[in-house]
Amino acid sequence: MPPTDPLRNLGVRVTSRGGELRVWSHHATTMELVVFDSRDSSWVTAVRPMAKGDHDVWSVTSSKLAPGARYAIRVGGPKGKTHDFDPTRNLIDPYARGLARTSDGEWRSYVQDDAFDWGDSKRPAIGTDHTVLYEAHVKGLTKANPSVPEELRGTYAALAHESTIAYLKDLGVTTVELLPVHQSVTEQRLIKQGLANYWGYNTLNFFTPHAGYASRAAQFGGTGAVLREFKGMVKLLHEAGLEVVLDVVYNHTSEESPGGPTTSLRGLDNASYYRQMADGDYIDVTGCGNTVDFSLPAAQRLVLDSLRYWHNEVQVDGFRFDLAATLGRDAEVDFDPGHPLLQAIVSDPALAGAKMIAEPWDVGAGGWQVGKFPDGWEEWNDGFRDRARDFWLTDIAAARHTGAAAQGIGGFARRLAGSSHVFSEARGPMASVNFITAHDGFTMADLTAYNQKHNVGNGENNRDGTDHNHSFNHGVEGPTHDEDVLKSRCKAMRNLMGTLLLSAGIPMITAGDEFGRSQRGNNNAYCQDSELTWLGWGEREEWQDELLAVTKTLLRLRHENPALRPVRYGRFGETVPSASQMDWYNDHGLSMRDRDWNSPTARTLQYLAASTPEFEEFNRILLVVHGLESDVTVTLPKHAGVAGYTLLWDSARDDLGGATLEHRPGTETVIAGASMQLFRAS
């Protein structure tokens, strides 16, 4: 930004004259800096008035604002239903890069020590076509890992431990997407229930790493220690070739509804920062009590400055935006794909190269905006999720119960090929972040084992969590020793993982799905901080090891076959660089007809995809999908330039031992009921 930018350098900047604090508030009439004793954050050592300058920016310079100094802001202003000023209240600086807790539970901002030696560490800069996201919770990923020293388990340091990195590298993922790491707190309701917000979607401050995920040594290591541990984690992951993406929650804050705790934005300028009615009631499109008003330039700037800080000074590689539709709502609370904040996030030169991933919905009117975000954004594709679950789970259940599946294979094929009906040609298939599961909802194993949610432990009488899970328990609700049920569940998991990793788009694996982690049917485990939500690193059952091996195989095959990961959509009759030429055949090896696409009794297709090389060697694959539980004999298609097919993977098998690998075009092969086979065509 130019040096004359009126909102430049908000927060604390250390200068030759001391630290300068700059804070934005439109409605405030008074503002003070309060400095506290470094050993007793309740003891005031200095109070300095702040002066209001141009564009509603208040500022003060003080020699006491040195690294490690604890400080707060006190703000006075007009009374009224939309205001919440209290000149005696100690508020957090929205730009504070460090936070400390007092003995009585209040928060203090502190001036951060940003010093860190990055050495020769460089970003991996992995292209979208090679990206595989791995969504994980910092604590849950390593809390039960016996290879990590006990005092480090569940911390940033543990995530960067050699055993964790070795696991991620061996698995074959490229990018760790961390659930929120901004400093968060637990909602008042959960505190009263004796529960905690485990996921962290209740942000207190947008610049400070969550101290609870740091090692004890860092938490008590003085100014900058927690941040250094976080940066150290990023550095070691980068050196291993792994990217770091942060799940960020800018749509609301932990101040909750108007009766909630006032810690920062509400006390600074409630009428400006939060969407409100004239009577002071909040307009809540997040379902979390409040909604930040991003029609306000200062709120937009807060987000952009936070992103710049994490990307440039902490070196993270990208961001996944929780309820991102909220960030694109205008002054009338309508979603606008041309919203200045959405545009700035992907056009800001200071954020060049960062991955920007939208959760493209919120809970307000017109909140579902999948496919509507501007160029430069990737989006979570819930349509892919639901169609894949239906095809392999609820359609199979319907066929068992009624004798017919609910739908044909056409909708599934569109998702497999990159959801071109959702995302524009200019954005291409890599705009789609494909997922079967995420942190919220059933795990992949639970999708195959439960028809209903089992959330009683969350303290809401099983009312919380979605009732639309698109799941199928295969005949028994929950754990069972029935071998036939277990066999069907394992194959369903292989089909789901295969669909995820062999489809066009960016795949996202939820941590633990690769080996069948279960939450015992809890589909909303946001308040469960226990073995229920932590990854199990101990002994696993045989089927779990087999599923892990299958996931590794699929990730390797995705990497080796560029025809599975086109960057652009193909156009009929044209050669589009980095696209895939797609041909579709039925079980007889003939071009698909309308009946083949749409009939619930004709749920078999053969998908032949040939890459159009731009940076990699030519590659062609054949993916055979069969969506009914009876076996089917297919005739492998004859196609110009194809002399043979080599079987690479079969979801009906744990491995290919004893399978016939080489096949000629025009020959027949049997596809097991409800399964997939991947071939390399040569």
Which residues form the catalytic set?
322, 359
CA distance 303 to 430: 25
Task: Provide the token pair at 319.
Answer: 């961001």
The distance from CA 565 to its chain's CA centroid, rounded to whole angstroms, is 20
Q: How many CB atoms lie within 10 A of CB 456?
A: 12
Q: Which amino acid is at 239?
A: E
Q: What are phi and psi of 512, to 5 degrees?
A: 100, -20
CA angle, 240 then 246 then 251, to 5°:
175
* CA-based R_g, the chain, Å: 27
E-strand ranges in 589-658 read 604-611, 620-626, 632-635, 645-650
CB-based contact 356:318 (threshold 8 Å): yes
Helical residues (DSSP H) of 160-312, grouped into ranges: 162-171, 188-193, 216-219, 225-239, 265-273, 297-308
| Distance from C-alpha of 7 to C-alpha of 60, rounded to nearest angstrom | 15
Q: 10 Å Cβ neighbour count for 459?
A: 16
Q: How far is Cα 230 from Cα 221, in angstroms, rounded to an integer?
A: 13
Helix (H, G, I), strand (E, B) or coil at 607: strand
Tokens of 542: 């045989």
DSSP 47-88: EEE-EE-GGGEEEEEETT--TT-EEEEEEE---STT---EEE
CA 679 to chain centre: 31
Which amino acid, one-letter code, is at 495? N
Dihedral class, residue 216 (left if φ above 0, else alpha if ψ from -120 to 50, else beta): alpha
Q: In what order do the strands lie in the sheet with 662-663?
A: 580-585, 604-611, 620-626, 675-681, 645-650, 662-663
